[in-house]
Structures are given as structure tokens and as C-alpha cells.
Structure 1
């Protein structure tokens, strides 16, 4: 072999064929094969929303506290504690309704003023939680405000038709109209087993029970 020469990326090989009966003629090789490189475009990844983690808290902060497992007339409960003890958010969520004024008058028929001063929230789990007969509603608590699990919403009291007994009327329900639907708001799912769990630090959820109620009865109480 006499020499190897590269021209603009195309290899030309000149071979002297002497000693093989040739006359010194040259043979030019064809273009060298071009290596093909496959370029893989990065795939855009769509973020997947993490499941909302719900934390439940017992709704009254007091050492001496009790509640009934049943309630007259409809599924709810009364949580008994000294007046002035904190009433807190069952879970993180958004405030739906607030009543800072006790509009109940003795002798009134059942109606939207029964609860006196109250707060209802829509939890991040989609469930409505309602506490009434409060002595006061905490400063800054108003419709649309976001609250955290365990955050104080008000204080235990005896407003409305509380019969002069310090307690919180507590109800669990679907959000439905979110406001004004007092018959649903006051409670449609029995709370006792959830309260028992939360009081012990458990995280039993009423979501399935509320969904089952709404599937069966819609927003009728």
C-alpha cells in the first residue's frame, strides 16, 4: 500500500498494484458509510397531583368532655364541655357559614336559628362539619377563609336553643347548597364513631358514609 488519503470526509484509497501483473493503475474506494445517530426527544412529563392527606382532630379541646352516641330526631350529637373551651376545625378546609349573632328567640319552632352562633366548614375531604351553640366565633373566621385541622373556630357556649347547657351541637353532612340548608347542615350522619376515633388520635373518616347518604337521599334531610 502506497498511501491513505482523506478528502472532505470521503476516504479515497490509492493502491498500487505492482508485482501483481498490474501497470501501476489505482483503484478508488467508494464513500465511507455514514453512521446514523438516532436522536430521542425528551418526553414531557405531566405532574401527577398527590393525594390529599386529611388529618382529623377532635372538635373540642378540653380535658373534661363527653358526648352522646345518639341524638333526638336526626343523626348528630352534643359535645359537652365547659363554656369557653375551644371549638376547633375537625380537619383542614374552607369556612362555609358563620353566625356571630344569636338570632334564636325562646319558643321559636325548629329552624335556621336553632344553633345560635355557629361555624360550618367544608373539609378537604369534601365533608361539611358544623358546630353550634357557640359563645363566640374566633376573630378572622369568616366565609371563604381557609383553616387548618385543630385551628380554633370559636368557643363552647349555650346560644340558640341550648337549654342553658354549655355544649356544642355537632353535625356531619354533605356540602349540598353550602349555605342555608339548615336541615342537612345540622347533621345526617351519626358522628359518634368518628368522634371516638379522633379523641384517641385515630383517623377514621366519614367520607364513605356521607357519600352513601348523598347517593341514597341526595340533599334531603
Structure 2
């Protein structure tokens, strides 16, 4: 009996010793600290937020961020439309160069000017435009009433400024000066002469008028706007324009029918 009890006690002691040993091994006493789970590669490590990879960061930074709409550039603003009254942008030239040259601010029968110069002096286009009428015939007969033959040889042009310019009593109208031909400011049109009713005096009858639609409207073509203020400006290389005066004349008078 005693022997049986001793055997049972011995077995219990062995079991107790074994339990103590297992508990001591679980704490890893005397060994290196246990490796953290997220560094050990266990399934739990996949739930840890790892730093983004370089390729992912690059992809993220490459996506365009919304940017505010650019404000309109100051140079993009449309430029103002040039005013029709800014005729000073056109170039004007005194019609008879050289010396001696003179003219009077008034005229005997209509708003025009006689520019006195030597026969043969050049006659120039006062501005760029289009030739609308010419004459290379002198069919004037002294004693007849005033009419379209008064001017003898003449040239009429409508400038790009919308004004008609007329020069008559010329001795020559240059070759190539024909209706429909474009001319530039300062281009030679012909020579000063004394054809028509020039009373045998070398001069250029110079008239400014609105461009009426009817060809042969000599009573307007010969002059409707006093030229002297403009000639004064052009002779000093100024750019005074008769465009406004021409428009005002048309508004007030139109193009009346011939007085004959």
C-alpha cells in the first residue's frame, strides 16, 4: 500500500516538474527578445500600412492637379476699331513740287485753287487712290459757257480717304494713268500746262470734292471744298485731311444734277 502511494507521489512530482519546464520555455528566459509579428512575415504583417513604393509616388505626383483658368492677357484684348475720322493716317503730298510755286486761298467761280507754276512742272497724286477720270484732249472753245471742256487735259482720282482730287489745264497726262489704275501718294500724274480755259497762264486748277457716282459731274469735280487749308498743311509736310469736310458736304448737298 505504502509502495503504491509512493509511486503515485513520484509520478505527481514528475508531472509538476514537466509543467514548470514548459511554462519557463514559453517566456524565452535568457534568450533574444521575440521578433515583432509585422517584421516576422506572419499573416498579420499584410495589414500594416507600409510606405508607398517609389513608382506609386511618382504616379501620384504625375497626375495633373487642377489649376485655375489663366486670366486674360492684356495683349489679348481686341484693339479698338479705327475711327473713320482718323484720316490723318493717310499720307498727303503737295501736288506741285519745285519753285516758284504759289496759290491763292480763294477762287473766282467756285471753291478751288489755282496753283501757279512753270509749265512742265510735275503734277503729283496728293494721296494714294484710284484714277476715276482723265482727259487727253483740249476741246475748249473760248466764249462757250462753262462746262466739262473747261479743264483741257485733266486727271481726277478718288483717294483711299474717300475724297476726290482734281487737277486740270495740264500739258501732259502721263502714259499709264487711266481710269481704274491705282496710284500712290507722290506718284507723277503729268505736267503743269495751260490747256482749256487757262487764259494762257501756266497753272494747275486744283479742286477737292466728294466722289459723286455720276461720271462727268464737272460742276462738283472742279471743286466743292476750299483747298487752301489742306495745301498749307501738305506743303509743310502735314497730314490735314479733307475727309470730314467731304462727308459733311455730301450729307448736306448730295450730288445734284448738272446745271445745264
Alignment TM class, shorter chain as reference: 0.7 to 0.9
Q: Which runs of 5+ in 2 are unaligned?
A: 1-36, 50-55, 70-75
Alignment of 1:152-191 (within 5 A): 152-177=188-213, 179-191=215-227
> Are residue 200 (structure 1) and residue 245 (structure 2) matched?
no
Counterpart pick for 2:103 among 62, 67, 88: 67
Correspondence for 1:125: 161
TM-score, length-scaled by structure 1: 0.78
- Measured after TM superposition, the shift of residue 36 of structure 1 is 5.4
TM-score, length-scaled by structure 2: 0.67
Correspondence for 1:10: none
> Are residue 145 (structure 1) and residue 181 (structure 2) matched?
yes
Alignment of 1:1-221 (within 5 A): 23=44, 26=47, 35=63, 53-177=89-213, 179-220=215-256
CA distance in 2, matches of 1:100, 1:157: 12
1:172 aligns to what SS in structure 2?
A: strand
- Measured after TM superposition, the shift of residue 112 of structure 1 is 0.9
Q: Which structure has the highest strand share of the two? A: 1
Q: Which runs of 5+ in 1 are unaligned?
A: 1-15
- Measured after TM superposition, the shift of residue 80 of structure 1 is 0.7
Backbone CA RMSD of aligned residues: 3.2
CA distance in 1, matches of 2:241, 2:191: 24
After TM superposition, which residue ranges in structure 1, 4 or more long, deviate above 2 angstroms?
16-19, 21-28, 31-40, 47-53
1:143 aligns to what SS in structure 2?
A: coil
CA distance in 1, matches of 2:105, 2:203: 14
The alpha-carbon distance between structure 1 residues 36 and 209, as it changes in their structure 2 partners (threshold 3 A), is: same
Structure (1 or 2) with the larger CA radius of gyration: 2
Aligned residues: 201
The alpha-carbon distance between structure 1 residues 38 and 87, as it changes in their structure 2 partners (threshold 3 A), is: farther
Q: Which structure has the highest helix share of the two? A: 2
CA distance in 1, matches of 2:38, 2:219: 107
- Measured after TM superposition, the shift of residue 179 of structure 1 is 2.4
- Answer with 132-141 or 50-59: which moved more: 50-59
- Measured after TM superposition, the shift of residue 219 of structure 1 is 1.8
